[in-house]
Amino acid sequence: MLVLHALSDFIDCDFAISGSSPSYWYEGRCLQSGNHLKLPRTSISEAIAHGLMQQLAKNDCYSREGKMYGILLVELANGEQRVLKAFSGLLNGCSVVEGWVPPILGRDEVALEEARTLAQLDAIKQELFTLKQLTERQQYEILFDEFEQQLQAMSDRHRHCKHQRQEKRQQICNTLTPETLTIALEQLDEESRQQGIERRQLKRQQNAVLQPLQELIAATDARISELKQQRKALSRQLQAQMHATYSLTNFSGRSLSLQQLMPGGSPTGTGDCCAPKLLHYAATHNLKPLAMAEFWWGASSVNQDKIQGKFYGACAERCQPLIGFLLSGLRPNPPAPFPRREGGVRSPSPIRGGVWGEVTLSIIYEDEWLIAVNKPAGLLSMPGRYSDRQDSVLSRLRHLLPDEMTLASVHRLDQETSGILLLARDRQTHRQISQQFQQRQVYKVYEAILSGAVTVERGKIELPLWGDPENRPYQKVDWQHGKPSLTHFQVIAREQDYTRVEFTPLTGRTHQLRVHAADARGLGVTILGDRLYGCCAVTTRLHLHARELRFEHPQSEKTLHLQTITPF
């Protein structure tokens, strides 16, 4: 089966290779050597992917279901370059398709069981769909509303009658003789009793009509719950079988099953994504990977977080934990020199980037008073106390811009947190912006992936935080010594057992979002990759990103709203 394709199948032979830096890195740490390994998404790999998109657009069968597609640019032993292409999961129900990288070995061993389980899951899906369309639900709601309206109208009428009876009692008590008064009061009491009987009759009628519908709906809901449990059990059973048989091979020739690589369990579909399929195939066929690109094609995903034709990085749940192992055996990328900038002339608001070691630093906003950078995870905001902790955003910017010795950070991000970091270029601006932070006038939005399910949709967390001096930098909730901290949160997506959350902190305590997520009195679920607060998942980074920053510019007095794309 032809799997290796010529570059000319996707791009013109005279394609100009851009000198720009990679737009994304597939990266992970080798479990054996500890080396940090990276594979870039470059302009040429993106161009090849666009060529594949054009091919997909010509056939409607590729648009029926949305899924991830990927290409891997590889080098043969003779130095020639070829292209591999892959799709995630199944393509129109097939795992093996001419011209595409085949699934990782292991699928065939459970193919029969998989087909049987998928048929059962499909039958459950169809029954669930039918049960959820139960017409009696709508009938119950209509009848319930009608009875409630009747009861309300009756209550209003009875209330009016009661008020009239009270007025009448006051009148007749002063005008009628005792004998006549007794008769009149009994008539009023009887009217009250009759209205009570009328209300009870309507309630009995309501129960007689609605109770059978309630029982049917309750039985249907019980069946739906039972089917969902069956579906969950079947999925877990199939997943366990597949993970025990799926075996991944890296470039050092070592093979491990998914069960060995992710002993704590992994989401359904792990091993079927594009990146593992492409890298496994290259490793087992002596192909050197040069660059890779993955994109979404077809209808938008269920959560509307995937758009056709847009590039995406390795997914945090299924792929990222495997990247380090899959790239093992490749030589680690050598550190690139940090580019120096000549002269002190600066244009307003450029987007620049510099590389130091293995981490890219990008300036996303700049004027004569402020600089905002998109800090990568793993880099300090400011230099530390000791010589081995001098590499930071501040020191890099001072190295890049030699005339910026007055540059100072107005706030900090944890070393493991990525996102917007704001710096001031003079003392007055630093003082003005710092004051806005202190007075809680700066609007901050963070995005995170939590390593479990969150049941509530939105809310706020108020917990006093205190740093134990005997266990730095760990923070904990302490009602006696802690400082007040307040965070608003909102769930923005769910997938499998993971939850994507948007945090809006109103205070800026150390590790505030990490503790508010992990503590049982907060969300009770750690941020993915937060080992300090108990996350055991295998991942290469803390999944916390400072996505937005909004504040008043101290000079123009206009609102400045900075935003970045969440990298996971």
- Residues belonging to the active site: 414
- Token pair belonging to 350: 């450029």
Return the structure tokens found at 311.
């590039």
Helices and strands in the chain, H and E counts = 10, 20
Q: Which two tokens stand for residue 239?
A: 């997943």
Query: What pairs with residue 487 in β-bridges?
Result: 461, 505
Token pair recorded at residue 29: 């740490």
Q: What is the 3-state secondary structure of 499-521?
A: EEEEEEECCCCCCHHHHHHHCCC
290: number of Cβ within 10 Å: 16
Give me the amino acid identity at 406.
T
**In angstroms, rounded to a whole number, what is the distance separating the alpha carbons of residues 266 and 243?**
9
SS3 553: coil
Cα–Cα nearest to 67, from 86, 54, 83, 84? 86
CB-CB contact of 510 with 521 (8 Å): no
Write out the two tokens for 55. 């091919």
On whether the CB atoms of residues 41 and 338 are closer than 8 A, the answer is no
CA distance 299 to 290: 30
- Integer-rounded Cα Rg, in Å, for the chain is 32
What single letter denotes the amino acid at residue 83?
A: V
Q: What residues contact 384, with CB distance under 8 A and at least 6 apart? A: 390, 392
291 membership: H or E segment, kind and range: strand 288-297
Q: Which residue, chain included where needed, has tokens 């930071």? A: 392
Six-digit token string for 520 = 């049982």
